Amino acid sequence: MKFSTACCLCPRLANFLDEVRQTHPDYYARPVPSFGDAQARLLIVGLAPGMHGANRTGRPFTGDFAGKLLYSTLCQFGFANQAEPLDVAGHANAELILSDCRITNAVRCLPPQNKPEPAEVRQCNQYLVAELASLPLGAVVLALGAIAHLAVLRALDLKIKDYKFSHGMRHALPNGIMLYDSYHCSRYNTQTKRLTEAMFHAVFSAIVLHLHSRDLNNNLDPNNRV
């Protein structure tokens, strides 16, 4: 199913966004679309928009603490041209461009207390199905947190017991996608040291190595055609 910023299939979330628009009329406060390269080989899946982050700016991981670590990491590893997701006015930085990377969320609408209900994750999963189907052969998916991990498995109709979430884990999926897991880069996780910058960078190092390895193999394949 094609994603729409007018989606209101989850009554609790739609009603909550109506309330947010009343209290914050300058906020985006609608379902948040994906951001990045349409032909990306790396798809990053987060949980849901944050109240003063994506829900305010209309772009995933833009405006909150988690986005600072994510975008600075993307810049360091060559997936973004800039590290700063916001401009000087505090809006989404229009100069920031992602290369070979796209970012989305398991749930596209802001949930109360940042906690989507299982039924809402399932309802929104149809959009993730379409997102995953658009990925090129040999793509990589990075799930930020267990809920994102489970959403990816659900979207691909895979059994949870066969692919358990664990930080730094890599799962070769039947359709050729490589699924990487990381703890979510939230303020709570980083402040409690559950996730350190070094841990997060190690996951991206592994992803870059995997993609470069695939590039090398394709270049060496005599049957490969450009």
| pLDDT of res. 220 | 53
| pLDDT of res. 223 | 41
Find residue 180's DSSP bridge partners. 142, 170
| pLDDT of res. 2 | 87
**Position 16 in a domain:** no
**Position 35 in a domain:** yes
Range of the domain at 159: 30-220
Query: Average pLDDT per run of 10 along the chain, which is 226 residues long?
Result: 93 98 97 97 98 98 96 98 96 97 98 96 97 95 98 97 97 97 97 97 98 77 39
C-alpha to C-alpha distance for 101 and 82, rounded to whole angstroms? 13
Choose among 177, 144, 140, 109: nearest CA to 37.
140
| pLDDT of res. 59 | 98
**Position 23 in a domain:** no
Q: What is the tally of structural domains in the chain?
A: 1
| pLDDT of res. 213 | 87
Find residue 86's DSSP bridge partners. 92
Q: How far apart are the first and last CA of the chain?
A: 31
CATH code of 195's domain: 3.40.470.10
